[in-house]
């Protein structure tokens, strides 16, 4: 299952990669593979911007604007004028 094409904010800076393979380990959609002792993105459109790869890259080789891909959170953010907030309250359907 894939979501909208060409929207992800995922960026990979190959020159900073040390080949530790943490990104391959944490990505739940197999976006990264190891290729010649460095990581490489094989399918950007599978990225769900969870941010696990960037958080676990000790070398700053990955950046992504991570966030919960949840419409009600984004709408809450639009209304409050702040960041998307997923207030998973009693009635909230998300999480």
Partner 1 sequence: MEEIKPKKRIRLGDIKKSGCCGPGNTADSNGSQDNPKQPCCPGNRNKTVESSLPEVSRVSTELSRSDRFEHLRCRISAYRMRYTINPGLYAAGAPDNRSDVFVSANYKMSFDMLRSSLKGMNAWILVLDTKGINVWCAAGKGTFGTDELIKRIQDARLNQVVSHRRVIAPQLGGPGIAAHTVKERTGFRVHYGPVYAKDIKAYVEAGYIATKEMRTVRFTFLDRLVLTPMEINPAMKKYPLYALLVMIVFGLHTSGISFKNALAGGLPFLVLGLVSIFAGAFLTPLFIDSIPPRSFALKGWIAGMVSTLIFSRFTGVLEMNPALQAFTYLFFPLVSSYLALQFTGSTTFTNISGVRKELRFAMPVYISAVILSVALLALFKLRELGVI
The contact set with partner 1 (CB under 8 A) reads 1-5, 7-9, 22, 24-30, 46-53, 55-56, 58, 65-75, 78, 84, 86, 88-95
Selection from 52, 66, 53, 68 nearest residue 13 by Cα: 53
In this structure, the chain runs to a length of: 95
Measured distance CA(59)–CA(15) in Å, rounded: 10
Which pair of tokens denotes residue 3?
A: 């979501």
Whether 17 and 62 have beta carbons less than 8 Å apart is answered as no
CB of 3 to partner 1, least distance (A): 5
């Amino acid at each position: 299952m894939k979501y909208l094409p060409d929207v992800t904010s995922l960026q990979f800076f190959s020159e900073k990669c040390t080949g530790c393979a943490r990104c391959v380990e944490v990505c739940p959609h197999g976006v990264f593979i190891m290729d010649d002792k460095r990581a490489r993105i094989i399918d950007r459109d599978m990225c769900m911007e969870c941010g696990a790869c960037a958080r676990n890259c000790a070398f700053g080789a990955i950046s992504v604007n991570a966030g919960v891909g949840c419409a009600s959170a984004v709408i809450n953010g639009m209304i409050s004028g702040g960041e998307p907030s997923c207030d998973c309250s009693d009635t909230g359907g998300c999480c």
